[in-house]
Amino acid sequence: METVNPIERVLRGVAITLVILFFMFPILWIVLMSFQTNETILRMPPSVVFTPTIENYQALITGKLETSAGILEIAFMKNLFNSFFLSTASVAIGLVLGVPAAYAFARLKFKGSEDIAFTLLSFRFAPPLLVLLPLTIYFQQLGLANTYGGLIWVYQLIVLPLILWIVRGYFEDIPADVEYAYRIAGHSWGATFRKIALPLAGPGIAAAALLAFIFAWNNFVFALVLASADKQPVTVGALAFVTASGIQYGQIAAGIVLSIAPTFALALYAQRYLVEGLSLGAVKG
Amino acid sequence: MTVQLSLKAVDKFYGPISKGVHAVKNINMDIHKGEIIALLGSSGCGKTSTLRMVAGFEDTSRGTITLAGREIHRLPPVKRNVAMAFEGYSLYPTVTVRENIAFALKAARLPEAEVAAKVTEVAEMLEITDILDRYPTSISGGQQQRASLARALVRDADLHLLDEPMGQLEPQLRTLLRGRIKHYIKERGLTAILVTHDQTEANAMADRIAVMEGGVLQQFASPEEIKEAPANLFTGTFVGEPPMNVFPATVTEAGGMIHLDLQGGLDLKYPVSEFSDPVRKAMVASRQIVLGVRPYAVHRSDQGAPAQVVANQWLGDQTHIAASFAGGAIVLVEHDFADVVLGQDIRVQLKPEDLHVFDAKTGQALSHGAELA
Amino acid sequence: MTLELKNIVKAFKSDVVLDGVSLSVATGETLVLFGPSGAGKTVLLRLIAGVIDPDEGTIRIAGRDMAGVEPEDRGIGMAFQNFALFPHMDATENIAAPLTAKKMGKQQIAHTVEKVAKMLKIDHVLHHKPKELSNGQKQRTALARALSGEPDILLLDDPLRNVDAKLRFEMRLELPRLLKSQQATVIYVTQDYKEAMALGDRIAVMNGHGIQQIGTPRDIYMSPANLEIARLFGDPVINLLDVTPERSERGVQVMLSGQPLVIDAGFAHAIGQSCVLGIRPEALQFVPEGTPGAIPVQIETEAPLNEKTVTLALTKNRREVMISRPSGTEAPSSGTAWVIADVTNIHLFDRTSGDRIEPGQSAAVQGAA
């Protein structure tokens, strides 16, 4: 049946609304919380009626957290910067290393290539704590503990397998004939990689970079163990809101809103690329 | 002849009626008992939508479909008594080819011996006896297609629908199987609709061809009639291989002669008496026409117009010659080895009795050679 | 440029695709590689292009051994069956790919692209991306790309496979002139015997890991080396009937539909041998009853086939034969009919090996006697 009757249309609308409510409610609640004081948040019964306040945001930005026990210095903005820097740098390095590797795994079936690729993926299976303990000791001896460099290095455990496996799939989707055609036209394999493989895998690389960025941004354990306050990202920094005089829900909410904003914006922006997919109509006929 | 299937004012809309995509536009067709019909057209012409409405996989947006005296367009597919061979084969993967073919017969509670005999017969015809005990996944695409065809043909139904049934067949088998299937259908007096984009197949199999384009039935006639009197330019150029030669021309009448001015400064003159009065009037009124001539009707002759050979291709039992002519190209078919070489100047003759004349604006046929004589 | 292949062997894992293929193509020649799918035609083309390497054997272009020479350095142009256009570049950039590789000036590139595009009638769609092109335009763009660099060797991998029948026909008539104007050595792969016959100066028939016959279209159609090749050329397919040649007072004869058919006396050496007689459908002709040498057949059905009409009939032994004639000629359409075979256009094959049996020379004298 192609024609939709009115009852069906209404029911469909109700169903969609319910689903949206279910998934969006926590985010909405967090946003509402971030504009409330701890008292209004914790009152019983909870209510959506309140006088909005921006003092949570103020506290975060100025770095002065007012608690009943007095003023507490927090480094939230510094944490935010750390998150940003660590994630961006990790993804950038991950791309530089991962994309050519993905291409190699996709195109050159050399001995042991599958094993190597799988080993890289298996890094994602192991619980982070398994590697953290030895790493902490090594890092301290190497002077890498509590440095951006060290963290970015460890972040490759998260970023690299992801980029490698996603991008590899995209490279494999490019028909080999398209690349052969460019080679036969007289171009070296390097030029073929730059002019054909990279642009065609572009949407895939963007998707992988975005996912890797989000994973890096959300990482907690590595940074918790290997970084001290001035190198900590927001995920760890948020612990500061658990103060001796109670948990600062309002500020936590504001912190969450601020820290999801960049990834959220990025996801919205990149959605185009993710949906676009590969436009290989010319090849598939 | 009794009418077996009748489509009356049938429309198909995808989406709401008169707002959605109008895929099939006001189709009227009567198909007689024992007839083989081909629905012919390129992809998106509406032939598959029409077939699916008849089979019951799409609802009929408007109009009525009657099969063997029953109105069927509101019935579910199982109640229509229609057998269908699907383009995608759709064989049951969990049973053997034999059980696939016998499925409907067993469901109809036919005696086992009769089922076995029917299956053997149809399998022999389609050359699949050696794979009867294999499973669909272990046989080639061409074999699956033949198995699917066998499953449809073995049934005793009011109507047999064959959707692109021979696309995957090995070329060496194609002509032979077409002949056998046609014989099989005719021998049993079955009524069949064949959906195809291949005009060769339509011509080889069908008693009448329904040419569709843009959701509209362009012409519904016998292969001979479509060949000799195409209703419009589309039908004329779509049916026939090599395709009909076409040349835009301007018509003028002067001094008892009809002048057809082709591009490239070529002026073909025919005495007015060669054309019947209404045709002559229609041509002069249209002024801008398209001249069509079938490749086999173009002959080399000293009296002809000049042309220059660009290709001479011998295919074993016939020769295709292409020559530049009147600012375009003209194709000739000859049945022997032709001793012309690339670049050679030849003369080709277009006899008035072989000309098809179409109105340049509407594409409607104004006259056909056959009427002129 | 000449192209020479010697004893090429190529296997994928344990699957031998090419087993000792040798071939030489002269400058300016169009050689068609013809055969059913899986015969290794495309693999052979890729070996020549250099995108895969042979396990054994040598490939020489203009006398130079190509071992270790990268695809970009072989002076080759190639059109792919699936077009393989660069989806992110418009038609101009696609066609210009071989020119940018040569570091040609911008103006010269534009000029060359324009020229090739005009020749292939795609100059009006030069700014379209591949997905905005129709199938026929894609195919022409792919061809233009292969031609624009004026390669010495042109490899065409079934370029008309994915376009509709009309375009295929049109291109088939256009291609010979195009290829000759390029003066390139052309290897053309196809599965369509008509294309092979229409375009090839010579045809190499590939089947079962190698080349089974090389010759002009006429050689192959008129003297197929074996049964399989006879079946691959011609539509409708050649009629094949089991016969055993025997001696008669008029020379050598075979029994067809209960009637003797006198064949070339040169086949005397095949007397008593189990054979298959091949008669092309166009070598059978309807004649009135009582014509000497006529064979009775029972007509089953009749089907038109593009400018010819094919009749499916049964012999007395219920063997199917197909008879083809030009459309528009009269013929009986039902019941019993009589046909006569053109004995100059028949083929004899050994039933076990499938190999062609040539009529002997001496026998021609015998026949005249």
Residues B42-55 have pLDDT tens digits of 888 999 999 999 99
Helices (H) and strands (E) in chain A, counts: 14, 4
Same domain, A128 and A154: yes
> Looking at the domain assignment, is residue A1 inside a domain?
no
> Number of folded domains in chain B?
2
Residue ranges making up the domain that contains B88:
3-238
B179: nearest CB among C197, C198, C312:
C312
Residues 10..49 of A with a Cβ closer than 8 Å to B: which? none
B266, B222: one domain: no
Contact C84, C161 (CB under 8 A): no
pLDDT one-digit tens code per residue, B87-116: 887 899 999 999 999 999 999 899 999 999
The residue from A20, A46, A73 where one domain ends is A73
Ranked by mean pLDDT, the top range of A181-185, A240-244, C300-304 is: A181-185
CA of A3 vs chain B CAs: smallest distance (Å): 5
Closest residue in chain A to residue C73, using alpha carbons only? A186
pLDDT recorded at residue B114? 95
Q: Which of A186, A188, A282 is closest, CB to CB, to C87? A: A282
B31 and B59 share a domain?
yes
Subunits in contact with chain C (3 or more CB pairs closer than 8 Å): A, B
**ipTM (interface predicted TM):** 0.88
Do B109 and B127 fall within a single domain?
Answer: yes
Q: Are residues B217 and B276 in the same domain?
A: no
The residue of C30, C32, C166, C216 whose CB has the most chain B CBs within 10 angstroms, and thus the best one to mutate to test that interface, is C166
pLDDT at B357 over 60: yes
A178 contact partners, CB below 8 Å, separation of at least 6: A196, A200, A280, A283, C84, C85, C86, C87
- B313 plus B363 within the same structural domain: yes
Q: Could you give the number of structural domains in chain A?
A: 2
Q: Which of B176, B186, B296 sits opposite C236 (nearest CB)?
A: B176
Q: What is the pLDDT of residues B166-180, one digit of tens each?
A: 888 888 888 899 999
- Confidence bin at C285 (pLDDT 50/70/90): very high
Res. A285 pLDDT band, cuts 50 70 90: very low
Residue C365: phi and psi, rounded to 5, are -65, -45
Please tell me if residue C248 touches chain A, with a CB cutoff of 8 Å: no
Determine whether the interchain pair B316/C197 forms a contact, defined as Cβ–Cβ distance below 8 Å: yes
Task: Tell which of A1, A2, A4, A8 to mutate to test the B interface (max B CBs under 10 Å).
Answer: A2
Q: Which of residues B238, B264, B279 is at a domain's end?
A: B238
Question: Has residue B224 got a pLDDT over 70?
Answer: yes
Structural domains present in chain C = 3-229 (3.40.50.300), 239-368 (2.40.50.140)
| B137 and B201 in a common domain | yes
What is the chain B residue with the closest CA to A5?
Answer: B16
C45, C83, C134, C163: best to mutate for the A interface, most A CBs within 10 A: C83
Q: How many CB pairs lie under 8 A apart between chains A and C?
A: 94
Neighbouring subunits of B (3+ Cβ pairs under 8 A):
A, C
Interface check for B124 against chain C (CB to CB < 8 A): the answer is: no
Same domain, A232 and A251: yes
Are C52 and A254 in contact by the 8 Å Cβ rule? The answer is: no
What string of H, E and C letters represents the secondary structure of chain B?
CCEEEEEEEEEEEECCCCCCEEEEEEEEEEEECCCEEEEECCCCCCHHHHHHHHHCCCCCCEEEEEECCEECCCCCHHHCCEEEECCCCCCCCCCCHHHHHHHHHHHCCCCHHHHHHHHHHHHHHCCCHHHCCCCHHHCCHHHHHHHHHHHHHCCCCCEEEEECCCCCCCHHHHHHHHHHHHHHHHHHCCCEEEEECCHHHHHHHCCEEEEEECCEEEEEECHHHHHHCCCEHHHHHHCCCCCCEEEEEEEEEECCEEEEEEHHHCEEEEEHHHCCHHHHHHHHHHCEEEEEECHHHCEEEEEEEEEEEEEEEECCCCEEEEEEECCEEEEEEECCCCCCCCCCEEEEECCHHHEEEEECCCCEEEEEHHHHC
To the nearest whole angstrom, how far is the Cα of C236 from the nearest Cα of chain A?
Answer: 30
pLDDT at A1: 41
| Identity of the residue in C76, C84, C133 whose CB atom sits nearest the CB atom of A283 | C84
Token pair 């098809």 in the structure block, residue: B356
B80/B207 same-domain check: yes
At residue B243, does pLDDT exceed 60? yes
Tell me the mean pLDDT in the region B254-282. Answer: 86
Domain that holds residue A56: 6-73
Distance from CA of residue A199 to its chain's centroid? 23
| Claim to verify: residue B63 and residue B134 sit in the same structural domain | yes
| Distance set, CA C270 to CA B43, C228, C251, C252 (Å) | 53, 20, 12, 9
Q: Which of A73, A90, A117 is the last residue of a domain?
A: A73
Cα of C291 to nearest chain B Cα, Å: 24
The CA distance from B137 to the nearest CA of chain C, in Å, is: 19
Tokens of A102: 């993905």
Residues of B in contact with C235 (CB under 8 A): 171, 174-175
Same domain? For A67 and A116 the reply is no
- Span C116-135, mean pLDDT? 92
Within this chain, do residues B274 and B214 fall inside the same structural domain, yes or no?
no
C142-152: average pLDDT: 94
Give percent above pLDDT 70 in chain B: 99
Tell me which chain A residue has its CA closest to the CA of residue B14: A2
- Are A98 and A224 within one domain? yes
What pTM does this model have?
Answer: 0.85
* Signed CA dihedral, B26, B28, B34, B39: sign only: negative
Domain shared by B233 and B138, yes or no: yes
Does A279 score more than 50 pLDDT? Answer: no
Are residues B176 and B275 located together in one domain of the fold? Answer: no
Residue A207, pLDDT score: 84
- Are A281 and C87 within 8 A, CB to CB? yes
Note whether A3 contacts B: Cβ–Cβ < 8 A. yes
Q: Is residue A184 part of a domain?
A: yes
Same domain, B274 and B193: no
Which pLDDT band holds residue A272 (cuts at 50, 70, 90)?
Answer: low
* Mean of pLDDT values over B219-238: 94
- Chain C CB contacts of B310 under 8 Å are 173-174, 176-177
Q: What CATH number should be reported for the domain holding residue B306?
A: 2.40.50.140
C149 touches chain A (CB under 8 A): yes
Contact B241 C306 (CB under 8 A): yes
Q: Which of B203, B238, B273 lies at the terminal end of a domain, its last residue?
A: B238
B13, B21 contact by CB (below 8 A): yes
Q: pLDDT band at residue C369, thresholds of 50, 70 and 90?
A: very low
| Contacting residues of A for C145, CB less than 8 Å apart | 181, 185
